Amino acid sequence: MTISIGRRTFIVLAGSALACSRSARAQVGKTPRIGVLWHAANPKEEEPYFSALLKGFSDLGYVEGRNVRFEHRFPNEIPERFKSMAAELVSLNVDVLVSVSGTASIPAKNATSTIPIVFVFVNDPVQSKLVNSLARPGGNATGLTNFQSDLTQRRLQVFKEVVPGMSRVAQLVNPNAPVARVNIQSIREAATTLGLTVQTFEARSPAELEPAFDAMTAAGVQEVTYGPGELIQFQGRDIMAKLALARRLPLCAHNREVFEAGALMAYGADNVAIIRRTAVYVDKILKGEKPAEIPVEGPTKFELLISLKTAKALGIEVPPVMLGRADEVVE
């Protein structure tokens, strides 16, 4: 009887082990599904970031249709669609949910507490309550931040050095951006330290950009910078650069993409490199690491870009010392 029970027990355990082995093999053979919640209307509007994200995955050997499936969603900056599309991706039970921007990340976090989230382009993930801390995120989210608020004073100082004599700066903000209030306070504190005055102008949509620039001209400001937010940095970057140039207002950008649209200068992180690295975070999670234990990563490379072409159009003579410090000068 004892031997018989022992044999039965052994058989049951062996069967259980075999089932676990099959389950493990099935899990290994599963094609992971990655949900990506963007912010613009389509892949073209997300360039160069859409291609950069896919390049990051391909560099790690992930090929669409072969060993990974992507579920892309484009809310077109409509608040309700961020919520509904985040819920839709959660309902698909994706293995990892990538949220591009703070505007996308908060709805993603509200939609699930179990599916791992990798966010990118979030200005302040702690203040946005996406993580408990950068070193120990906790919960189900981690990712990459570009720390724009922390760069505010340094960017404004460089702007002042590139444009000698500047004193009255316009700050363009989208008040609906998650960290708009924090950024407004940050730039005001920086301006006080640098002996500048700052006036805030608001734009909630591309249609509000031109009236905002008209108001800047009427107020007699000398230069323009802007706060974080997808409307300004991505969807409205070409419009913003053209409006600034038409009104002979030097524009200080946060990244190469707005700079290339026609800004006088840019000082900030390499956003293309940041979003490409998102794939590394997803890969870690697919290999079993928990988001709660993966520190949030900040940028490691910052660029100073200056356009002599724009400077000439604005009648500005950039000091040679600043041209020497620039990582890139566009003739």
Least confident of 26-30, 146-150, 159-163, 254-258: 26-30
Class of the 30-147+272-293 domain? alpha beta
206-220 pLDDT tens trace: 889 999 999 999 999
- pLDDT higher than threshold 70 for residue 4: no
Whole-angstrom distance between the N-terminal and C-terminal Cα of the chain?
91
AA identity, residue 32: P
Q: What is the pLDDT of residue 106?
A: 94
Compute the distance between CA of residue 197 and CA of residue 239 in angstroms, rounded to an integer.
25
What mean pLDDT do residues 161-177 have?
91
- pLDDT higher than threshold 50 for residue 27: no
Is 149-269+302-330 the same fold as 30-147+272-293? yes
- What are the residue boundaries of the structural domains of the chain, listed by start? 30-147+272-293, 149-269+302-330
Residues 266 and 249 sit within 8 Å (Cβ to Cβ): no
Torsion 134-300-166-194 (CA) sign: positive
Q: What is the pLDDT of residue 301?
A: 81
Please give the CATH architecture assigned to the domain spanning 149-269+302-330: 3-Layer(aba) Sandwich (3.40)
226-256 pLDDT tens trace: 887 666 666 678 899 999 999 999 999 988 8
> pLDDT category, 5, cuts 50, 70, 90?
very low
**Dihedrals φ, ψ of 76, to 5°?**
60, 40
174-183 pLDDT tens trace: 888 767 787 8
- pLDDT higher than threshold 60 for residue 23: no
Q: What is the pLDDT of residue 230?
A: 62
- pLDDT higher than threshold 90 for residue 81: yes
Question: What is the chain's length?
Answer: 331
The DSSP call for residue 119 is E
